[in-house]
Structure 1
Amino acid sequence: MNYENILIEKENGIAVITINRPTKLNALNKATIEELHHGFGGLENDPAVKVIVITGSGEKAFVAGADISEFANFSVEKGADLAAKGQEMLFDFVENLKKPVIAAVNGFALGGGLELAMSAHFRIASDNAKMGLPEVTLGVIPGYGGTQRLPQLVGKGRAMEMIMTAGMVDAQTALNYGLVNHVVAQAELLDFTKEIAAKITKNSSVAIAKAIQAVNANFKDGVDGFDVEIKAFGDCFGTEDFKEGTTAFLEKRKADFPGK
């Protein structure tokens, strides 16, 4: 598939997806969401890729929000359908991807942009980053998982304040809130993110996929995360990665995981 709105680069087991709509501050429109879905799906099925990094082009914005012009005249039914399809196609899709996804937040991450960053498994921000959910200034609420994921990350009270005031928080505040894991200089963001990604690539991709599944289970209604963890733990014993990992430990050498 030829992409118009995203770029994909792969090297040393790490794939970088760059949302490339600089004149629109990388705003998410329908076409970009579809391209991201296809891009993430392809990388998940690529055995050479161990970790995925998502970022935005330029130095101003990760993603400055959704493309409001696409839905300004929607009806109630169309609005609900927009949120449902968007969550299924991109935001829930990314959260439940079997491969780790790291958001490298380079600048503004607002509305759908922050929601995309929150759907990643963790986030690293540049020191000029600003994050927020300004939807209530448009008479609407976050519809791509923002009301659910933000409280999980920063707590109910802080999430309520951010959503109700529509205010932005800077990178240091986001770090203090637990919204991002690290803050680094803009020029160092991708290199720093790739350094962490490189550490992940050395570990068992099978075990990591199981860990993602188990951690996510804790946040799903009607699912006992402990039960999911127990089953996933047991499943690991039947993998080639487990055999290699334990053998390497006993032989006092570094493991060379086959990813099976």
Structure 2
Amino acid sequence: MTEGFEFARDGAVARLTFARPSKKNAITHAMWSALPEIVAGVEADPAVKVLVLTGAGEDFSAGADISEFGELRSNAEGAAVYDKAIEAAVRALTGMRKPSIAMIRGNCIGGGCQISVACDFRFAADGSRFGITPAKLGIVYDFVSTRQLVALIGPAHARYFLLSGELITSARAREIGLLNDVFAPSELEDAVARFAETLCSRSQTSIRGMNRIIEKILAGQVEPDAEVDQLRLDALHGEDYAEGVDAFLSRRVPRFKYS
């Protein structure tokens, strides 16, 4: 595992932790570069149904490790190479069929907030802070992450975030739709665990198919294509559909295939 990450699995739930608490879990270039492979491993592991991303200590992540910028982003060419690593990490998370949850405490700023927006769900502790700060660094935010942010919170709030670089509270983040929910710090872990278990109990055929369709919609697709039609057809012929209908008619809890 790349330095700065910790990875663990508890049953069907995998957890990836940003583990540089003394640096507010700032994300190094090596960590950005490692994320696609980590995500691919989660996707390929049949025992894993959900990925939770979180930070060690008091913060989720304060963003990219700017102490590296003098060496790795000292010119336009170096910055372009660095940005490609970030973009690949974001695309890997966005492209996951298995659901991802950002469990947030403390600072969730810059690249940390970018990672959280790329996840499917965001749950935070009361008192967390959020912001995306390219305007403080002379950076133009990348297209995919901008599109994700606009889709999540709308253009007005996205402009506020990106153009001002100001930080907002967890309450405000929940209000504008950046967060799914906010919990007392002592309740966050249990709340996320309960939601992850809910996702694990649902049809994975349904979850992964619908996640793929949502990804296509966010990318600008407005009509179904052959892949969408096939996803829906495969589900209708699958074991989960038969089990779900039988369980509903029998008034029992469904026992979906583990896949």
Same fold (TM over 0.5): yes
Aligned: 1:81 with 2:51: no
Bigger shift: residues 161-170 or 232-241: 232-241
- 1:145 Cα deviation (Å)? 4.0
**CA drift at 1:171:** 0.1
Question: After superposition, where does 1:57-96 map in structure 2 within 5 Å?
Answer: 57-59=56-58, 61-72=59-70, 73-88=73-88, 90-96=89-95
Q: Which residue of 2 aligns with 1:201?
A: 200
Q: For structure 1, which segment, 223-232 or 33-42, has the greater mean C-alpha deviation from structure 2 after superposition? A: 223-232
SS at match of 1:52: strand
Cα displacement (A) at 1:10: 1.7
Q: 1 CA distance for matches of 2:223 and 2:77?
A: 34
**Which residue in 2 is equivalent to 1:187?**
186
Question: Matched residues, percent identical?
Answer: 30
> How far off is 1:83 after superposition?
2.0
Is contact 1:245–1:255 with CA below 8 Å preserved after alignment? yes
Give, in whole Å, the separation in 2 of the partners of 1:18 and 1:85: 19
Given that residues 90 and 145 in structure 2 are in contact (C-alpha distance below 8 angstroms), is that contact kept between their aligned partners in structure 1? no
Identify the range of structure 1 (185-194 vs 195-204) with the bigger mean alpha-carbon deviation: 185-194
Quote the residue 1:43 is aligned against.
Answer: 42
Residues 106 and 125, structure 1, Cα contact 8 Å, conserved in 2: yes
Give the whole-Å Cα distance in 1 for the aligned partners of 2:64 and 2:9: 27
Q: Distance in 2 between matches of 1:11 and 1:20?
A: 18
CA-CA distance at 1:159 after TM superposition: 0.9
Count of aligned residue pairs for this structure pair: 256
Structure 1 partner of 2:152: 153
Deviation string, structure 1 residues 1-26 (Cα, Å, up to 9, x no partner): x3421112222321121110111111
Q: How far, CA to CA, are the matches of 1:49 and 1:116 in structure 2?
A: 20
Residues 13 and 201 in structure 1, CA contact (< 8 A), matched pair in contact too: yes
Q: 2:219 & 2:145 partners in 1: Cα distance?
A: 15
2:111 maps to what in 1? 112
- Normalising by the residue count of structure 1, what TM-score does the alignment of the two structures yield? 0.91
Q: Cα offset for 1:80?
A: 2.5
Q: Distance in 2 between matches of 1:80 and 1:3?
A: 22
Say whether the 8 Å CA contact 2:29–2:85 is kept in structure 1. no
Aligned Cα RMSD in Å?
A: 1.9
Q: Structure 1 residues 145, 28: CA separation in 2 closer, same or farther (over 3 Å shift)?
A: farther
Given that 1:109 and 1:129 are in contact with CA atoms closer than 8 Å, whether structure 2 keeps it comes out as yes
1:66 and 1:162 map into 2 onto residues whose CA distance is 17
CA distance in structure 1 between the partners assigned to 2:38 and 2:15 by the alignment: 10
* Contiguous gaps of at least 5 residues in structure 2: none
Q: For 1:65, what is the secondary structure of its paired residue?
A: coil
CA distance in 1, matches of 2:30, 2:90: 15
Structure 1: unaligned runs, 5 residues or longer: none
1:239 aligns to what?
Answer: 238
Q: Deviations over 1:50-82 (max 9, x none)?
A: 1111000011x1110101232334322332332
